[in-house]
Amino acid sequence: MQLFDEPRLISIVVPCYNEGPGIDVFCRKLNTVLAKLPNYRFEIVCVDDGSRDDTLNKLLTISLNDRRYVVIELSRNFGKESALTAGIDETHGDAVIPIDADLQDPPELIEVMIAHWEKGAEVVLAKRSNRDTDNFFKRITANLFYGVHNQITANKLPKNVGDFRLLDRVVVDALSLLPERQRFMKGLFAWVGYQTVTVEYVRQARKAGKTTWSGWRLWNFALEGITSFSTVPLRLSFYLGALIAFFTFTYAFFILVRTLIFGIDVPGYASLIVFILFFGSVQLISIGVIGEYVGRIYMEVKNRPLYLIRRVHGRETLETDSTAGAAGYPVGVVS
Ligand code: UDP
Ligand code: MG
C-alpha cells in the first residue's frame, strides 16, 4: 500500500572486492532491470571493500554519470559481512536488496522480489534451486553445514539461501538493533524473522574475477555460524566427559573384579598409553571449544567498529531528497 505520492525508494547494496573485470557489466545489467521498474526510485549503494584493482575507479566513474549510485570507500578490506553491513547502514530505502557484484545473483529477480514485497512480504528470500555450479566438495560441505547448524541451533537457516534477498525497512531497522561485532549475516537475517516469502532461481557461475572463499575460509565461516547461534559445542564437552567417566568407572570395576579373582596383572603399557593420549586429546579439544567462545567474547568486548569509511561518494546528489537524512557524510568512524 502506498501512503504518499512520491514513489517508494528501493536501495540496492553491492559489496565489491576486486570486481574490476565485471563491475561495468553488472551495473549495465542492473540498470536494464531497474529501467523496467519506473514506479520506484532507486539508490545503488556500492561498497568498495578495499579492492586492490580498479574497482573503485570504475565505481566512481559510474556514480559520476548516474546520480543513483553511491560509493562507499572502506579504509581496507573488511570482508563481505562487514562490507554488507556498511552498505546496509548507509541506505535510506523503504526496502533494501543486497546483491553480489559477480552476477551470480540475477538482477532480474529484483522485479519478482518487489512484487512480493508489494503484496506484504517483509523478507523475500532468493533460494538457489540447485547447486549445479558448485563442485562436489562444496555441495557436500554446504549440506553438512546446514545439517549440523540447524540441528544444534534454534536459529534455523533456510537451506541454499545466500545474502541475496529483499528486506523491508522494518527488518533493516531490526537488524541494526543486533549489537554483535562478528556478524554472521545469514544467521542474523534468519534470527530477526518477519513475514518471509521464498523465490527460487538458478545460480550461474561467476561471470568474471574469482571467488575469495577458499575451503579454509568457508570452514571458519561455518564455525562462526555455529558459535554465533549455539552453545551446544560447550555443553558437548560436559556430556562427552560424563560418558567417558561412565566407561572409566565400568572399566575400573572390571579391573577390580579381575584383580580379586585372578590376581595382579602387570602388562598394560599399550592400553595405558592409549588411554592417556585419548584423554589428553579430549581435554585439548574441549579447551579448544572453550577457547573458541572465549575468543568470541574477547572480540565482542573490544567493541571495535565493524568497518571504517574513508569516504562516501555521490551522496551530495541526494541532498535535496527528503529521505537523505543528515546532510554531509564526513570521513568518519561508523560502528
Ligand atoms: N566481497 C566483499 N569483500 C570480500 C569478499 C567478497 O565485498 O572480502 C564481495 C564480492 O565482491 C562479491 C560478493 O562479496 O560481490 C560475493 O563474493 P564471492 O563471489 O567471492 O563469494 P561467493 O559467490 O563465492 O560466495
Ligand atoms: Mg560469487
Altogether, the residues listed in the chain come to a count of 335
Residues with C-beta less than 6 Å from any ligand 1 atom:
15-17, 19, 49, 77, 79-80, 83, 100-102, 104, 206, 211-213
Q: Is the model's pLDDT at 263 over the cut of 70?
A: yes
- In whole angstroms, give the CA distance from residue 5 to residue 116: 21
Q: List C-alpha distances in Å: 181 to 12, 42, 44, 217.
A: 23, 29, 25, 18
Nearest bound ligand to the CA of residue 213? 1
- In whole angstroms, give the CA distance from residue 147 to residue 21: 36
List, in order, residues 6 or more apart from 232 with CB less than 8 Å away. Answer: 152, 153
pLDDT at res. 47: 95
- In whole angstroms, give the CA distance from residue 159 to residue 150: 9
E strand or H helix at 99, and its extent? none
Nearest protein CA to atom 16 of ligand 1, as residue: 100
**Given the C-alpha cell 566407561, which residue does it identify?**
247
**Which atom of ligand 1 lies at the shortest distance from residue 100's CA?**
15
Q: Is 100 left (phi over 0), alpha (psi -120 to 50) or beta?
A: beta
Other beta carbons within 10 angstroms of residue 93's beta carbon come to 23
**Which atom of ligand 1 lies at the shortest distance from residue 14's CA?**
15
Look at strands 332-334 and 307-313 and give their pairing.
Answer: antiparallel
What separation in Å is there between the alpha carbon of 69 and the centre of ligand 2?
Answer: 21
Q: Is 229 left (phi over 0), alpha (psi -120 to 50) or beta?
A: alpha
Percent of the chain with pLDDT strictly greater than 70: 88
Top mutation candidate among 145, 163, 212 for ligand 1, by most atoms within 8 Å of CB = 212
Query: 3-state class of 266 per DSSP?
Result: coil
pLDDT at res. 334: 45
Top mutation candidate among 16, 80, 206 for ligand 1, by most atoms within 8 Å of CB = 80
What separation in Å is there between the alpha carbon of 17 and the centre of ligand 1?
Answer: 6
177-196 tens-digit pLDDT:
887 877 777 788 888 888 78
| Amino acid in the structure at residue 123 | V
Nearest bound ligand to the CA of residue 101? 1
Top mutation candidate among 100, 135, 160, 204 for ligand 1, by most atoms within 8 Å of CB = 100
Least confident of 51-55, 100-104, 147-151: 147-151
pLDDT at res. 126: 85
What separation in Å is there between the alpha carbon of 100 and the centre of ligand 1?
Answer: 7
